[in-house]
Amino acid sequence: MSSGVRLARTCLGALVLLGPAAPALAAQPLRSEPVAAGYHLFYSGDKLGAIRRFERLSAEDPNDLPARFGLLFVEDQRLDADPTLAPAFEKALDAFIDVVDKRRDRNARDAEALLYAAQAYLLRGDYRFEHDKSEWGAIRDAARSKGLVESYLKLRPEDADAYLTLGLCNYYLGIAPAFVHFLRFLLFLPGGNRAEGLKQIERVAAQGTLLAPLAQAELVDIYASFEDRPAEALVEAERFTAQYPDNDDVTFALASLYAGPVMEDPARAGGLYDAVLTRRQGDDSPDGAAARATAVLGLAATEFDDWRCDEAVATLTAAIDARPHRPDWALPTLLLRRGLYRALIGDLNADADVRRVLDDPALAKWRTPATDLRAQIGARQHSGEAAVYEALIPANRLAAERQWDEARRAYEAVRAAHPNAPLVRYRIALLDFSDGQVDRARPAFEALASGSQVPDNIKAFSLLYIGRIDDLAGRREEAQKAYQKVVDNYGKQEEPVSYARVGLITAYRRPD
């Protein structure tokens, strides 16, 4: 069970059509060994090497669409590490689209132009959506991309790589009704087919040339989050990490799998984040700095989720004391995360981290999240929730260690001091659920879900666990009703709503 403060990436973060992984849709057939070598550099974790390769190939032949798109593909992956690249990337992507569209105008059956138009429009749609450029523009680009790749496959049905785009569209459109709030622009596209989409993605994983690794990475998320095949997901993820041990993104994906609700193994996840920190030690390149900041945030989140709260704060403190100057989001994000954690554990000086962000003119872009965090901290302290949360930490740590009897005694001691606190009642119900005593947990969750003085986040989580109890008992329809209530009534509660949407698609099973 998450602590509720982790900035966890939900299963929808893996949605390639919308999320950070969208460039994986670059359905690139094998044109030449030099192009293949560029993609291999990228998969191996050498983004700068891949860029240099594609830049050289593009300079040698400006009409080489595979090389030009390969360059755009990798540059898009680097925007988080170096946001200053964005204006040049936008200009280059628009120019590329203009080139392929003119080729299609001259010859509607130009297969190469069809393929790269499809990929370029989807890449631009993702970029627009991710960077809040134009949601309607993203809608138009995504719709155009799907139509183009379907036209391409009529000409080249043997191109296994091209099925990744179509497979992902089909799969995620097929499950879209459960994710209506997340898949806003996909709902404007023609309907999908979940089963057919999965077959198409699996085809790319087995038969693709350049895109097999990307399809395999997608299958990890799909098997784990939507298809109730966690063992296969873990095998794929471990194999993928062994194949590309220096690729930070691959390592982060495996860490997320271990940290998430499928495996619930924060210790293994923390070890993977530590591995990235060791690998990137002393690397001051934009990619190295971004990887270190991401790994620190991930490691601290796994420590806090495991209720090793002081260790989480220490992890963030070491990174803050190093005064990272890039990427630009690193220092303010680390400060705000530490401020949140310090507030949760009762540190009266937690606001100092928020003030550092608010008082630094160079961090003006982060004033809104800093102001929101300050208001959140103040509200929790005023309501008394902060004191209750702090009192529960030792018991939560015992529960994380599966010391059920000791945890129960610790919880009861907190309940004696705070007999009506919804958070205490919820943690005891969660302990019963985790210990297998679902008949004892259910009435407590039901009382919380219907209580008039219960915060919405606790109501949402309580309904989620009612659904999980029904799933464990084989009452699938009842479980789906509970999950739907979470989605319908508690849209602002991101974490339980995300889990509930998955529950609507796949029945809950306890992690092995």
CATH of the domain at 500: 1.25.40.10
Residue 250 domain flag: no
Mean per-residue pLDDT, 494-512? 85
Same domain (yes/no): 28, 116: yes
pLDDT at residue 32, as a whole number: 67
| pLDDT mean over 213-236 | 85
CA distance 95 to 159: 26
- d(CA 490, CA 486) in angstroms, rounded, equals 5
- pLDDT band with cut points at 50, 70 and 90 for residue 191: low
Of the residues 175, 208, 227, which one is the last residue of a structural domain? Answer: 227
Boundary (domain end) residue, out of 169, 203, 227: 227
What pLDDT score was predicted for residue 501?
83
54, part of any domain? yes
What's the token pair of residue 247? 């690729």
Residue 512: the pLDDT is 64
Number of domains in the chain: 3
Q: Report the Cα 72 to chain-centroid distance in Å.
A: 22
Q: Is pTM beyond 0.85 here?
A: no
Do residue 191 and residue 326 come from a single domain? no
Number of H helices and E strands in the chain, helices first, is: 24, 0
Please state the rounded mean pLDDT for residues 187-210: 83
Determine the structural domain holding residue 429 and report its residue range: 402-505
Q: CA-to-CA distance for 22 and 77, rounded, in angstroms?
A: 9
Residue 6: the pLDDT is 21
Residue 72 CB contacts under 8 Å (≥ 6 apart), including other chains: 89, 92, 93, 96, 120, 123
Count of CB atoms situated within 10 Å of the CB of 13: 17
Kindly state whether residue 436 falls inside one of the protein's structural domains: yes
- Regarding whether 412 and 377 lie in a shared domain, the answer is no
| Domain presence at residue 431 | yes
The band of 264, judged by pLDDT with boundaries at 50, 70 and 90, is: confident
Q: Count of residues for the chain? A: 512
Amino acid 245: pLDDT: 93
As a whole number of angstroms, the distance between CA 100 and CA 112 comes to 9
Same domain, residue pair 352 and 410: no
- The Cα 492–Cα 507 span in angstroms is 23
Do 439 and 322 lie in a common domain?
A: no
Q: What share of the chain is helix, strand, coil (3-state, %, to 5)?
A: 75, 0, 25
The torsion angle over the Cα atoms of residues 407, 409, 411 and 415, rounded to 10 degrees, is: 180
User: Rg of the chain's alpha carbons, rounded to an integer?
Assistant: 24
Give the end of a domain, one of 383, 411, 443. Answer: 383
Report residue 498 CA to chain centroid gap.
11
Task: Indicate whether 360 belongs to any domain.
Answer: yes
In this structure, the answer to whether residues 140 and 171 fall within a common structural domain is yes
Contact residues for 229 (Cβ-Cβ < 8 A; gap 6+): 223
> Do 367 and 410 lie in a common domain?
no
Q: Are residues 196 and 316 in the same domain?
A: no
Shared domain for 202 and 303, answered yes or no, is: no
Res 211: pLDDT? 82
Which amino acid makes up residue 253?
A
Residues 418 and 321 in one domain: no
**CB within 8 Å of 209: residues ≥ 6 apart:** 29, 30, 36, 160, 161
Count of beta carbons in the 10 Å neighbourhood of residue 327: 20
- The pLDDT tens digits for 271-328 are 999 999 999 999 988 889 999 999 999 999 999 999 999 999 999 999 999 999 889 9
Segment 93-104, tens digit of pLDDT: 999 999 999 999
Domain with 138 in it: what CATH number?
1.25.40
Give the pLDDT confidence score for residue 190 in this predicted structure: 58
Across the range 492-507, mean pLDDT stands at: 87
pLDDT at 130: 79
256 in any annotated domain = no
118 in Cβ contact with 27 (< 8 Å): yes
**CA–CA distance from 381 to each of 117, 308, 386, 388 (Å)?**
54, 22, 5, 10
Examine the domain organization and report whether 440 and 375 are in the same domain: no
* 251 vs 36, higher pLDDT: 251
Quote the pLDDT of residue 110.
94
Residue by residue, DSSP assigns 323-367 as ---SSTTHHHHHHHHHHHHHHHTT-TTTHHHHHHHHH-GGGGGGH
406 and 379 part of one domain: no
pLDDT digits (tens, 9 = 90+) for 5-61: 222 222 222 233 333 333 333 344 434 688 889 989 998 989 999 999 999 999 999
pLDDT tens figures, 95-151 = 999 999 999 999 999 999 999 999 899 889 888 877 878 777 877 887 788 889 999
Taking only the tens place, the pLDDT of each residue in 349-404 is: 899 999 999 999 999 999 999 999 999 999 988 888 999 999 999 999 999 999 99
Q: What is the mean pLDDT of the chain?
A: 87
- 467 is a domain residue: yes
73-94: average pLDDT: 90
Domain assignment present for 175: yes
- Please check the confidence at residue 183 and state whether its pLDDT lies above 60: no
Q: Is the pLDDT of residue 237 over 80?
A: yes
Residue 176 pLDDT: 64
